[in-house]
Chains A and B, each alone.
Chain A
Amino acid sequence: MADANAENEGPLGPDGKPISKKALKKQQKQAEKAAKKEQHKQAAGGDGNEDAEKEDFAKDFYGKCPMNQSQERVERDLVPVQSLILELAEKKKDEKIWCRGRLHTSRSKGKQCFFVLRHQHFNVQAIVAVGERVSKQMVKFVAAITKESIIDVEGYVRKVDQKIESCSQQDVELHVEQVWVVSAAEPRLPVQIDDLSRPESEDDLAKVNPDTRLDNRILDLRTATSQAIFRLQGGVCRLFRDTLTAKGFTEIHTPKIISAASEGGANVFTVSYFKGSAYLAQSPQLYKQMAIAGDLDKVFTVGAVFRAEDSNTHRHLTEFVGLDVEMAFKYHYHEVMDVIGDLFVNIFKGLRDNFQTEIETINKQYKSEPFKFLEPSLRLEYPEAVKLLRANGVEMGDEDDLTTPAEKLLGRLVKQKYDTDFFMLDKYPLAVRPFYTMPDPNSTKYSNSYDMFMRGEEILSGAQRIHDPDFLSERAKVHGIDLEKIRAYIDSFRYGCPPHAGGGIGMERVTMLYLGLDNVRKTSMFPRDPKRITP
């Protein structure tokens, strides 16, 4: 000890002060360690060094591609992951194929690396193993590629003896010999794709907050479920357009910047318009009717609808896509109701027949009952519904509107009685409808208006519109509406207008209810609500 003390005064630490005993001991230990390591290296010697110095013979078969600036038009056939099936394995037994996808996961074990290549909802297992064409450095490189990076691989498609349960392509495996990174992803992902795809029922594993999902929508959209939902939604739109076009309808587009609030001024967004201000359209109602007055006879429009309602519910958005229909009829507004009923039946049939895989994929994550409907669509009248509700304990007057719980109960009762999730309710009481609704000719209590329900929630509100300007002014007065504000609207009927009726639905809500999801934000790609305007 005394010796150490005497020595202490000698060596000085980096800060100029004499090093303490402890620090000195530490230094000595480190020096010993380093010496030992050197020895080891020398002994293991030949192999280690040789390895490090060994020529990387596979150097040209992997790496990061330079950023694609369309340098060269490569004539190369990229086989989609979806097509990596048994038949292909047999056909191209000794031929290499190229494939592009995302790196979903990877797992390396010394001389081998297993990884999963994913594209949309298809994924396939791939393996890169040290061999004649593959070097150890290449395996290391592949293991180090970050998740979600887009990579190009070239390899052989081989049959596997045991089915790979965790992948969509269960019969084959890729034996990879070239790997190039087309677009690298950052190492730390804000959310894991596996967490986003997990079904809700499993309790003890990580679940993703809906807000987090929406904040990282780009990653959320990559899950198989989201892919299926938005493909199905595209199908809804396409079936809507196709069915109506086949019935002789014309698609029109109505303006969204309007000068006066069309329905009830409280729920409109105001925008500054040059030196004044304008409003964002709450519904294309007014312009659809003008198109009818303009002799287009049968029109439909698909466009954005803006509602400034401060409702934070599972089924309200401030901006959504409206699918609206308006049709001039000959004698009775039931002609229009038949068309709308048939439209829905066609949409449901189309989804049932063509999107079964998508529906099953979505059901894996969000369980629900399959959607049932009747053809032709079920139509009930309001007094019948009131009678049914009263028989089941709901107290309401003949002319009362249906409250949301009453609507849900009615949906359940109709489901139990007729076994259908979709029905139409006709002849609503006049008192609860807007001023432009045509009253029933035989009774002052009711009107020629209708609502349609899916799974007990309202999706469409429609009616026969008043096409006579004098009667319209009368009804507006009864509702206490200032005639000056709707002068332009009333004037559009002054030059002859056929009797017409129609209705509008929300695309996101229809998709949500068809799939039995619990929140409309799941079916809106970038939803807008009172609390969210990004991404």
Chain B
Amino acid sequence: MAISPQQGSMASTSGPSSTMYSLKPFYTDDNIVLPDVMYKMKSFYGSEDVKKPDGSTGYDIDALEKRQEAILAKLSELQKEVQKLSNSCPPTLSQKRESTSGAVIDEIIEDVVITANPSSPPLSLFVLYQLLQQQLRTVGSMHVHSSVTSVPENLKVFQNGFQSNRRDYQLAITLIWKNVNHGPELMVNPHKQSPVQGEGNMARYLARLLSPGYDSVDPITATEIDVFVDIATNQLLHGNSKEKAAALRGLNSKLGSSSWLVGSDLSLADIVVWSALQQTGQAGGAPANVQKWIKACNNNFAFKLALSVMS
């Protein structure tokens, strides 16, 4: 608010021309610079032009360059040495097969524990065991749990588990006969999993050991196989008689057009469905195509062990 000197001096324009008292202006008309910060602080980083005592500037560019070059030289030296070493000891291909199931097949044996009820032996296990033997060094052993007093002779399979040195094998299948209620259970690493229950799921796990790329290689086939595995467990094993009959009819029609359930060769679907039919005793009264297919399965070498368990 600028008060003109005339008004400030409270001079009356009447009377003598000079003012009574003249005051020096106590403000100036210059632009007043308004501050934009509350408090101004010294720059944290130090002023830009610090002068060293010997007069040179702070950043010794040359010394820095020299250091960098020395480090680069050292790095190339190291690289040459590593190259030499890697030529003299080539890396071995560790046979690490980390399948989607989480079992780590490497040089130390991995033990897959399957607990099953002696009154309903999971036949698909024995078929898959024989197939696994073809691909990995597999050994099997059988135990009877203390909750079961005795098992019939035909269930005493896998007696080779003790004659051999476990260290020579990659995979062990340990079968324990015990009074489990909801189908066989599979356990590999107790802290990383809860038990895998049911024959269908056990078969799926073992199939992924057989072919680690099960899910990624051909998802369509994998899904078709899964459909049949589900039919086997839900309708053939645990379904009522209507469901069983319906499933058999479905199988019959499928087997009319091809000799195997999925694709042109034996697959997991065939194994699990065959096992379900044999366990529930439906193999005898099955329709014609199914009978033919059962015969084809029986003749396959992989089913030999399962057949011996059945008798």
Contacts and interface: CB of A to CB of B under 8 A. Distances in A.
Contacts of A380: 111, 166
B138 to A, nearest CB: 15
B191 A413 contact: yes
A417 B113 contact: yes
A371 interface: yes
A374 B115 CA distance: 12
A375 interface: yes
Nearest to B107: A383
Interface string B97-111: 000000000001101
A352 B145 CA distance: 13
Interface in A376-397: 376, 378-381, 383-384, 387-388, 391-392
B144 interface: yes
Contacts of B174: 378, 418
B190 A371 contact: no
Contacts of B162: 334, 338, 376, 379
B295 interface: no
Nearest to A418: B113
A392 B191 contact: yes
Contacts of B192: 391
A282 B58 CA distance: 77
Given A379-B162, A381-B166, A384-B166, A348 B190 contact: no
A367 B221 CA distance: 53
B143 A374 contact: yes
Given A381-B109, A383-B108, A387-B108, A417 B190 contact: yes
Interface in B226-281: none
Interface in A384-425: 384, 387-388, 391-392, 413, 416-420
A376 B145 CA distance: 9
B146 A416 contact: no
A388 B191 CA distance: 10
B191 A376 contact: no
Measured as residues with beta carbon below 8 angstroms from the partner, the interface class of chain B is: 20 to 34
Given A391-B191, A391-B192, A417-B113, A376 B143 contact: yes
A372 B147 contact: yes
Given A383-B167, A418-B174, A418-B176, A375 B109 contact: no
Contact of B176 (A348, A374, A379, A388): A374
Contacts of B146: 348-349, 352, 371-375, 420
Contacts of A413: 190-191
Interface in B136-159: 143-147
B163 to A, nearest CB: 8
B178 to A, nearest CB: 7
B145 A374 contact: yes
Interface string A188-200: 0000000000000
B189 interface: yes
Interface of B: 108-109, 111, 113, 115, 143-147, 162, 166-167, 174, 176, 178, 187-192
23 contacts: A334-B162, A352-B146, A373-B146, A374-B143, A374-B144, A374-B145, A374-B176, A375-B144, A375-B145, A379-B166, A380-B111, A383-B108, A391-B191, A391-B192, A413-B190, A416-B190, A417-B189, A418-B143, A418-B174, A420-B143, A420-B145, A420-B146, A427-B167
